[in-house]
Structure 1
Amino acid sequence: MSQAPPSEPVGVIVSVDPDRYAQTVDAARRVGLAVTGEQPVLGSLSGTIAEDRIPTLEALDGVESVDRERIIRLPPPDSPIQ
């Protein structure tokens, strides 16, 4: 029986209950979130986590929402289409 390969990490933005920020960040790290940025005043943090771990992250007490990062590429200013 072979195991499925681990899913690729994806970037996420996590909205957190500001009153439980520190505890929620610690719990998020324990479930596999590699934190890349913390914004405690805004009640959010960013990081990467395996795609298949997102439901576990969403279920944590204190997590209000989890959104995947989106990369938007704009053409250079001198390109013909703007």
Structure 2
Amino acid sequence: MSESSQSAPVGVILAVDPDRFAEVAEALRRAGLTVTSEQPILGALSGTVPEDGIPALEAVDGVESVDRERTIQLPPPDSPIQ
């Protein structure tokens, strides 16, 4: 029953210590992050996590920031200027 009460997954983008990238990425996976993209040189990861799991990601040593993904819809090129 606990699985049905789990919050919906949300997309997140994380900035981590690039010098410890592999170590921090593994700790984030253990904390519940499903990694969808890695940029080790930049020290950035993106992925999904249940919404109530975001505090656990923020608590991982080596994580500098956790931001929710945002979707922005631009109007079509032929639409009138607003």
TM-score for the superposition, normalised by structure 2: 0.92
Letter in 1 for 2:67: D
- For the aligned residue pairs, the C-alpha RMSD in angstroms reads 1.4
Runs of 4+ more than 4 Å apart? none
Give the whole-Å Cα distance in 2 for the aligned partners of 1:50 and 1:18: 25
Residue 43 (structure 1) shift? 0.5
> Structure 2: which 5+ runs fail to align?
none
- Structure 2 counterpart of 1:41: 41
- Structure 2 counterpart of 1:74: 74
Residue 5 (structure 1) shift? 1.1
Give the whole-Å Cα distance in 2 for the aligned partners of 1:70 and 1:15: 16
> Structure 1: which 5+ runs fail to align?
none
SS in 2 for 1:22: helix
Asked if 1:52 corresponds to 2:52, the answer is: yes
State, as a whole percentage, how many aligned pairs show the same letter. Answer: 68
Give the whole-Å Cα distance in 2 for the aligned partners of 1:73 and 1:34: 25
Residue 13 (structure 1) shift? 0.4
SS in 2 for 1:29: helix
Residue 39 (structure 1) shift? 0.2
Letter in 2 for 1:23: E
